[in-house]
Structures are given as C-alpha cells and as structure tokens.
Copies of this chain bind each other. A is one copy, B any other.
Amino acid sequence: MPRIVVDVMLKPEILDPQGKAIVGALPRLGFTEFSGVRQGKRFELTVDGEITEAVLAKAREAAETLLSNPVIEDVVKVEAVDD
C-alpha cells in the first residue's frame, strides 16, 4: 500500500527534556560521538489508491492540524514513500 511519511519535531527553541535525558545517558553507555539529541514523531499514513498532489496536500493539512501542535512543533517532512 502506498504510504506518506510525516515527520514532526519540536521547534528548535522549545526545551526537549526527553532529548536531554538521552544525550545525558549516551556517554554512560559508551556513546561519546553525539553532542545533542532531539526526539520527535514519525507517522506513516496508508493511502487507498494513488498518492496524488492533492492527497499529499491533504496529508500536509492533517499533519499541521491533527498530527502536530503548531505552537511547539514543526512539520519537517511530508513525503510519499514506496514500499
């Protein structure tokens, strides 16, 4: 089934406590390569039929109204993916 991936991340200026907790734990587990971690959400929307520009536009609209909180989050990607 054709799918659309939607990625949502916290706005850069918003504190990310989960990301802070992870980046604090990484060195204790032997991972010293990473100076920052931010956590967001990834959605896979299954589409009946073909992914047209109109369907992509509806996915972006759903992303901005239902899948993210525009006050603190940015929709960073809305993309059709092949299986």
- A residues apposed to B, CB below 8 Å: 1, 4, 7-9, 19, 22, 25-26, 29, 31, 33-48, 55, 58-59, 61-62, 65-67
Contacts and interface: CB of A to CB of B under 8 A. Distances in A.
Oligomeric state, in copies: 2
In the A-B complex, the 8 residue pairs with the smallest Cβ-Cβ separation, listed nearest first, are: A36-B46, A42-B42, A40-B42, A38-B44, A34-B45, A35-B48, A31-B62, A33-B55
A36 B61 CA distance: 16
Given A29-B62, A33-B48, A47-B34, A42 B7 contact: yes
A1 B38 CA distance: 13
A81 B23 CA distance: 19
Given A34-B59, A66-B26, A39 B43 contact: yes
